Amino acid sequence: MLLHIPGLFNREEVLRIREALEKTDWADGKITAGYQSAKAKHNLQLPEAHPLAKEIGTAMLERLWSNPRFMSAALPHKVFPPLINCYREGGSFGFHIDNAVRQPRGSVERVRTDLSSTLFFSDPEDYDGGELEIQDTYGMQRVKLAAGDLVLYPGTSLHRVNPVTRGARYAAFFWTQSLVREDSQRALLFEMDNAIQQLTADVPEHPSLLQLTGTYHNLLRRWVEV
């Protein structure tokens, strides 16, 4: 399942974040890449402990945790703290699959990367190229969203960032370990949750709502891992 979550940050917030990113010092993006990924990764990144990365990451997670669409789709259990990257002219990241397990620096906690997320801080007209291409059972998807928007997709997907040929592409990315490991099961629960919410708005007294809600929670109980 690939999901677009719009407007996580508004225009004024995006401009402040991008101004701060343009003024900061960057490191080689290979610092968090695995052995194979490092061969294909050509970008810049803020170190995990960088104060600006922590500030942006904390704000992102606070908003996502209050975003019903993200919570329903991801069913988050644990999150690898968001990282911030930059692709300038010539920057790219070839096709790869993310490491199955990530461990934040200085933490004993490990996170299984069930879901990947990218939040854009540059608008499409700010740069040429730089599309996030995601290949999965739903085919090849090319993603280039407005600044402030986020895309959520399975961590099992083969994906890449196309070369940037003009301008700069600023973004944040992170991984989520879901309460439900399988993408197909999460997608079913997400669709059912959306249907229940729509029925609740349209026919709040319908007797089937109780049964549907009970079925949702019984499926969640069957599939959840804690």
Specify binding-site residues for 2-oxoglutarate.
Answer: 169
> Is the CB of residue 131 less than 8 Å from the CB of residue 20?
no
> Is the CB of residue 80 less than 8 Å from the CB of residue 102?
yes
Length of the chain: 226
CA nearest neighbour of 126 among 148, 93, 95 = 148
Residues belonging to the binding site for Fe cation are 96, 98, 159
d(CA 16, CA 214): 44
Beta bridge partners of 12: none
Rounded to 5°, the CA angle 96-187-104 comes to: 45
Residues belonging to the binding site are 96, 98, 159, 169
d(CA 80, CA 103): 7
d(CA 216, CA 226): 18
